[in-house]
Amino acid sequence: MSFKKLSASIEKHGANLCIGLDPVPEKIPEFLFEYEDAVLEFNTRIIEATKDAVCAYKLNAAFYESLGEKGWSTFGETVARIPDDVYVIADCKRSDIGNSARHYAQTFFDYFDVDAVTVNPYMGFDSLEPFINYSNKDIFSLVVTSNPGARDFQMCDVGGKKLFELVLEKLHEWNKLGNIGAVVGATKGEELVGIRSRFPDLSLLIPGIGTQGGSIETVAAVVRIPGAPIIVNVSRDIIFAGFDEKFADKVKEKASYYNAILS
């Protein structure tokens, strides 16, 4: 059964909240730079403060890749410090021709041993197949994203349907192993409700809450619709809740705020 670990984490922690560990060195509390790896210390303190209040952590690879070789080391060390019972997502939005995609899948599933990755479906089935074939791992495919540019392609009419609807139908068709989910932004509330109602078998990763302005109330209502597990991701609004030595306490308070609404 796919998404088994995610379901277990949601049940154990009583939370659908996922915290995005997307560190920006310029925003990290200054005192942390006394440590050898300020970013890792930042992430570690957030994990320690919130590990019982989340179902998952999501690491956007861009925030680590931009730090070069050390960034990849910090990525791996951060994953290693997340408790085994908490779900881990590598937000890398990868896809490529089959052979290249296979190596991307090996990077995140074998080397870093994360539980799920985000992928881009634009190149079609063969670009996602190497990820899907990891039957004990999960993928979240971009469907309706939270950024303004989503309208450029995702909302285009294609034979009487929106392009994102065709993507959803394909994901549903390809979901033979039950390990495919969809990324649907909280800023697209109408589409979010419709997708959950039409495809309850697809797990959802919902970004766009907080800084991006998505409605937490709409998302909370969607979470209550029966179906596959749902993850609600919040990044900046939680991890940058405080900037002094007690920043982790502020982070924990912010996580509790979101959990209260989502529960």
Q: Per the residue annotation, which of 93, 162, 170, 250 is the catalytic one? A: 93
Q: How far is CA 193 from CA 4, 18, 200, in A?
A: 24, 19, 10
Phi, psi angles (nearest 5°) of residue 81: -90, -5
| Residue 93 annotated among the catalytic residues of the structure | yes
* Catalytic positions, written as ranges: 93
